[in-house]
A and B are shown apart, each in its own frame.
Chain A
């Protein structure tokens, strides 16, 4: 099973982003998704910068993939998506059906992103027929359903699972980070930059609940399937995705790598991972429960 690093969800300073990926080049991760997927006002890096990073990743022996923005509203955003999908050098992760249209029309293979809402066999078969070589299962999907889809699905289609990170639960036209500062979205003063892991929203009982990340709303709890990696391997999941966070991404990748290689027991990995997780862990979706639940599971023997 391969490990991937999902596209950066946050707005970090330019040099921080370059330094981050420089370090990632030396990590055990196999696939790196690159590009701005959340908000077009975030432009510390242009597409050409992301392609430079992709080149660096390729030179380091990794597979680089360019990701498109999830929510397209303006003409400028649609044009930006056209530029990404028009890049001939890298595989593209399509994060909306407009991007799928461009890639299938160009007869290019692509990755069907997390937000395409592929929940069943006919939809999955259809996506593969358009040229998808890999797809990312919806967050909400329980492992039993996923297992059935993998078993009966298109044989050449790889399945990727969002295995670690704060979950991107929703997207809006409204920027909640700007709203919290009483700023209009069009003059947000790049408030996201002050929140390298997003801005915490708590209930009135001071319980961490959601994370505001510009137009995206994330879970406060961190989806964490490290002890499910053996099960994923036996199910035929091809790729486990780790979502970048401001601190400890490198160590987190190393722990996932050790588990997939069988050199660290899943249970021990979970214990070692815990101090690196910025909030409580959760895994409810994987077990058919509310996403914020933490289900204690008996881990399978390493496959």
Chain B
């Protein structure tokens, strides 16, 4: 048996009328990124192993055991929690690596695991009853019925909502569940319901659910042609850039296509990042417990810059929510690292649709 890893959560010791904590959950694609997030005020960092057990399975990213151990030591010494994402679906032929990863997370002393697969949750709940389970966004749970079900079945204590609900819909879920709700605050925008998108495997054979990747780099080809620079995924033309135009990564839902008489446009989504900085007071008011920053595939500089802005914003908002508004400098700083240097409120904001 593995030693229990859980330390009492801060709220357990707090007086009954104290406000609930509001956590800033930051991406750590590497040890330097983890340190950058911790140093700049993350409440928690999330990381993954260097394999298909997590949804950011890109070459050169993620952690081996030694790096996790040292990351946990670094974070814990500074009062920051560490979550491990094991949020792909164990494949039928060999679910063993996912189970081993849960055991490893416990041995290493992570504060929570982020899971999507019910079979894996059942394993974790049975073998490590004190391990904190978070339902991954890949679990596609958008209603209190679904979230409460995972709680009843496996004892999850937190759920990450897919980026598809409007603010009122988030509030409705929070009102109907005792499970902590974490929402996405900043980063690349998945326009499809996470966990229910097979576009990537349709084109490349690999998807977030099965291999932890979307539009995997090994399927990407760049080609200079007389018509311009072309990006292709497994041969399918995703975009073509005019001379001087900034070329983005060919995530297939952010390519330019033709639909009926509309030619060459972003038919699914523009390259843009989600940024909910202006919604912070509302998110806190309705009882959101944590805000997640996307970007384990990004650099340590990204982790530092985004964490710093969000920490300052959250502290500002906690101190005086009524007078809070996002500073121009914060927005500018976040736009610098946003996809296409632009941002959106995504589904939180009704007219987005």
Residues of A bordering B, CB below 8 Å:
70-75, 78, 81, 96-102, 104, 115, 117-127, 138-141, 144-146, 148-149, 167, 169-176, 178-180, 184-186, 199-207, 209-210, 212, 217, 219, 284-285, 288-292
Residue of B nearest to A147 (CB): B92
Tell me if B201 is interfacial: C-beta within 8 Å of chain A.
Answer: yes
Nearest CB of B to A77, in Å: 8
Tell me if B267 is interfacial: C-beta within 8 Å of chain A.
Answer: yes
Tell me if B2 is interfacial: C-beta within 8 Å of chain A.
Answer: no
Tell me if B333 is interfacial: C-beta within 8 Å of chain A.
Answer: no
Tell me if B353 is interfacial: C-beta within 8 Å of chain A.
Answer: yes
For chain B, residues 169 to 215, give those with C-beta under 8 angstroms from any C-beta of chain A: 169, 172, 191-193, 195-199, 201-205, 207, 209-210
Task: Identify A291's interface contact among B116, B150, B202, B258, CB under 8 A.
Answer: B202
B275 to chain A: which residues have CB within 8 Å? none
Can you name 22 A-B pairs with beta carbons within 8 Å?
A75-B172, A96-B143, A98-B142, A98-B145, A100-B149, A117-B140, A117-B196, A126-B122, A139-B198, A140-B207, A145-B93, A170-B196, A170-B197, A170-B199, A171-B192, A173-B163, A180-B259, A200-B259, A203-B236, A204-B256, A212-B259, A292-B236
Task: Identify A140's interface contact among B201, B236, B264, B353, CB under 8 A.
Answer: B201
Band of interface residues on B: 35 or more
For chain B, residues 108 to 153, give those with C-beta under 8 angstroms from any C-beta of chain A: 116-120, 122-123, 139-146, 148-150, 152-153
A201 to chain B: which residues have CB within 8 Å? 257-259, 267-268
Contact with A along B29-66 (1 / 0, CB 8 A): 00000000000000000000000000000000000000
Residue of A nearest to B192 (CB): A170
* Supplied contacts A120-B119, A122-B123, A145-B92, 17 more A-B pairs, CB within 8 Å: A96-B141, A97-B149, A101-B148, A115-B196, A121-B92, A122-B90, A122-B122, A123-B89, A148-B92, A167-B202, A184-B351, A185-B353, A201-B268, A212-B259, A212-B267, A289-B205, A292-B202
Task: Identify A117's interface contact among B166, B191, B195, B347, CB under 8 A.
Answer: B195
Nearest CB of B to A298, in Å: 21
Check if A78 sits within 8 Å of B145, measured CB to CB.
Answer: yes
State the majority secondary structure of interface residues on A: mixed
Task: Identify B91's interface contact among A101, A145, A291, A292, CB under 8 A.
Answer: A145
Check if A217 sits within 8 Å of B209, measured CB to CB.
Answer: no
A138 to chain B: which residues have CB within 8 Å? 198, 209
Nearest CB of B to A169, in Å: 5
Check if A117 sits within 8 Å of B120, measured CB to CB.
Answer: no
Check if A174 sits within 8 Å of B142, measured CB to CB.
Answer: no
Task: Identify A71's interface contact among B117, B118, B196, B199, CB under 8 A.
Answer: B196
Task: Identify A290's interface contact among B143, B192, B197, B202, CB under 8 A.
Answer: B202
Residues of B bordering A, CB below 8 Å:
89-93, 95, 116-120, 122-123, 139-146, 148-150, 152-153, 163-166, 169, 172, 191-193, 195-199, 201-205, 207, 209-210, 234, 236-238, 240, 253, 255-260, 262-264, 267-269, 347, 350-353
Q: 7 nearest interchain CB pairs?
A: A122-B119, A98-B145, A185-B353, A173-B164, A123-B119, A101-B149, A145-B92
Residue of B nearest to A183 (CB): B353
Check if A204 sits within 8 Å of B193, measured CB to CB.
Answer: no
Check if A217 sits within 8 Å of B89, measured CB to CB.
Answer: no
Q: In the assembly, what is the distance between CA of A117 and CA of B162, in Å?
A: 15
Check if A117 sits within 8 Å of B267, measured CB to CB.
Answer: no
Known A122-B120, A126-B118, A140-B201; contact A148-B237, beta-carbon cutoff 8 A: no
B163 to chain A: which residues have CB within 8 Å? 173
A104 to chain B: which residues have CB within 8 Å? 149
Residue of B nearest to A221 (CB): B202
Check if A120 sits within 8 Å of B172, measured CB to CB.
Answer: no
B269 to chain A: which residues have CB within 8 Å? 174
Check if A101 sits within 8 Å of B146, measured CB to CB.
Answer: yes
Check if B237 sits within 8 Å of A207, measured CB to CB.
Answer: yes
Check if B145 sits within 8 Å of A101, measured CB to CB.
Answer: yes
Q: In the assembly, what is the distance between CA of A128 and CA of B269, in Å?
A: 38
Q: In the assembly, what is the distance between CA of A17 and CA of B162, in Å?
A: 33
Q: In the assembly, what is the distance between CA of A167 and CA of B253, in Å?
A: 16
Q: In the assembly, what is the distance between CA of A289 and CA of B119, in Å?
A: 25
A284 to chain B: which residues have CB within 8 Å? 205
Known A145-B91, A170-B196, A184-B351; contact A219-B202, beta-carbon cutoff 8 A: yes
Check if A202 sits within 8 Å of B92, measured CB to CB.
Answer: no
Check if A202 sits within 8 Å of B150, measured CB to CB.
Answer: no
Q: In the assembly, what is the distance between CA of A303 and CA of B219, in Å?
A: 38
Check if A180 sits within 8 Å of B209, measured CB to CB.
Answer: no
Residue of B nearest to A288 (CB): B205
Check if A140 sits within 8 Å of B210, measured CB to CB.
Answer: yes
Residue of A nearest to B211 (CB): A140
Q: In the assembly, what is the distance between CA of A145 and CA of B260, in Å?
A: 39
B149 to chain A: which residues have CB within 8 Å? 97-98, 100-101, 104
B120 to chain A: which residues have CB within 8 Å? 122-123
Task: Identify B142's interface contact among A72, A149, A206, CB under 8 A.
Answer: A72
Task: Identify A73's interface contact among B89, B116, B169, CB under 8 A.
Answer: B169
Q: In the assembly, what is the distance between CA of A149 and CA of B94, in Å?
A: 11
B260 to chain A: which residues have CB within 8 Å? 180, 199-200
Known A117-B116, A117-B117; contact A97-B353, beta-carbon cutoff 8 A: no
Task: Identify A203's interface contact among B123, B192, B202, B237, CB under 8 A.
Answer: B237
Task: Identify B353's interface contact among A148, A178, A205, CB under 8 A.
Answer: A178
A176 to chain B: which residues have CB within 8 Å? 267-268
Check if A204 sits within 8 Å of B264, measured CB to CB.
Answer: yes
B195 to chain A: which residues have CB within 8 Å? 117
Residue of A nearest to B88 (CB): A119
Known A123-B117, A176-B268; contact A203-B257, beta-carbon cutoff 8 A: yes
Task: Identify B234's interface contact among A75, A126, A290, CB under 8 A.
Answer: A290
Q: In the assembly, what is the distance between CA of A212 and CA of B268, in Å?
A: 9
Check if B193 sits within 8 Å of A171, measured CB to CB.
Answer: yes
Check if A173 sits within 8 Å of B91, measured CB to CB.
Answer: no
Residue of B nearest to A175 (CB): B353
